[in-house]
Structures are given as structure tokens and as C-alpha cells.
Amino acid sequence: MKIILASGSPRRRELLEREGVDFEVVVSPAEEIHDRELGMRGLCEENAFLKARAVADHFPEAVVIGADTLVFLDGEPLGKPKSMEHAREMLGSLSGRVHEVCTGVCVIIPRGETRRLSCVTGVRFRKLPEEVIDEYLSVTSPLDKAGGYGIQDHGEMIVEGIEGAYDNVMGLPVGAVMEVLEGIGLRKMRD
């Protein structure tokens, strides 16, 4: 059975490849919603569903995986920064604090059934002087990352510790996704 990742994220692709999953990428055209009333998990799961559904409509015979990751500070979602200055502001607001990273996942299987899940990881940032933020921004590309950072991209510069799944902060809670795939009868297809 064909598996499709409905995301252009190189991080999600890398995580699935590490698990030996045989899949192809079809970037979802879905527009994300920003309804705070859905709550952290509900918002991420709904966006993951919208992304997966938009692709599954064109590939009804495939298993489609959609995902959405957001950073939440004091219960408020931080999306992707609109500019480098916005990224600088986001990192400054995260400095010295604990925030949550939530990834919602939706797996749509050919019979039209959906499996939704979400994972939350606590991330504690170091106290970040302006020069550290400037240095971090000079060695990374923050504009395509929720909260303006990627833990896998020089995360040691800014992250003091995490409580939960590292791969979730990268954008895909792989263990939980593999459980869903195995639960619908799919196994690793290559080593």
C-alpha cells in the first residue's frame, strides 16, 4: 500500500526515512487555520487533518500522513516568523522560559478512516542575550520553523533541556506514527 507524506518538511521526511518507511512526498495545498478556541492539541490535529485530507482526496488508494507543529508560549500559538526581526522577537520571548511544542498528526487510510493524535514536548530555553540570538540567527534558517527555531539546527545554542520526545520538537512524533502504521497493518518496507 502506498504511503504519502503530505508535507514538504525535510525534517519530517528525514524522520520517516530513519524508520525505514517507504513513502513519497506530496506537499499539501491546504491552508492552516488559526482558531485558538480549538486548544493546543485540537488546533494541531485539525491542521494535520486538513493537510492530509487535501492530499488524500487526490490519492484515495494511499495512506496519507499529515502533520502540523506549533510552539505554544503561555497557551498562545507561535507560528512561523514573518521576517528575521520577527524571529528575533520570538526567540527573545522564549528566552529563559519553558514552552510547549505540539505536533498533531492525521493518518488517513484508504477506506477513508482517520487516526488523529498529538504529542506535546516541553522545551526549556537558556537565557539568551541579544548576541546569542544574533549568532543563532546567523547560522540557521528560522523562517520556515514554528517559533523561529529548529532544535536540530544548533539547538544546543538556545535549548537548555526538553521533557518529552525530541523528534516531536523536530516536527513528527515518529514512535506514535509508527504505532498507527503498524496498527493498520503496515510494516517497515525497507531496512
**Which uninterrupted H or E stretch holds 174?**
helix 174-183
CA atoms within 13 A on the CB side of 13: 9
pLDDT over threshold 70, residue 31: yes
Q: Is 79 part of a structural domain of the chain?
A: yes
pLDDT at position 112, please? 78
| Average model confidence (pLDDT) across the chain | 95
Q: Is residue 191 part of a domain?
A: no
**pLDDT at 80 > cutoff 80:** yes
Whether pLDDT at 189 is above 60:
no
Let me know if residue 189 belongs to a domain. no
- For 90-140, the pLDDT digits (tens) are 999 999 999 999 999 999 999 879 999 999 999 999 999 999 999 999 999
Evaluate whether residue 104 is within a structural domain.
yes
- In a domain, residue 8? The reply is yes
* pLDDT tens per residue, range 135-166: 999 999 999 999 999 999 999 999 999 999 99
Q: Which is the catalytic residue, given 35, 68, 74, 153? A: 68
Per-residue confidence (pLDDT) for residue 191, from 0 to 100: 43
Question: Does the pLDDT at position 57 exceed 70?
Answer: yes
Question: In this predicted structure, what is the pLDDT of residue 99?
Answer: 98
Concerning whether 68 is annotated as a catalytic residue, the answer is yes
190 part of a folded domain:
no
Instruction: Say what the pTM is.
Output: 0.93
Identify the CATH number of the domain in which residue 50 sits: 3.90.950.10
Total of domains in the chain: 1
The per-residue pLDDT for 175 is: 95
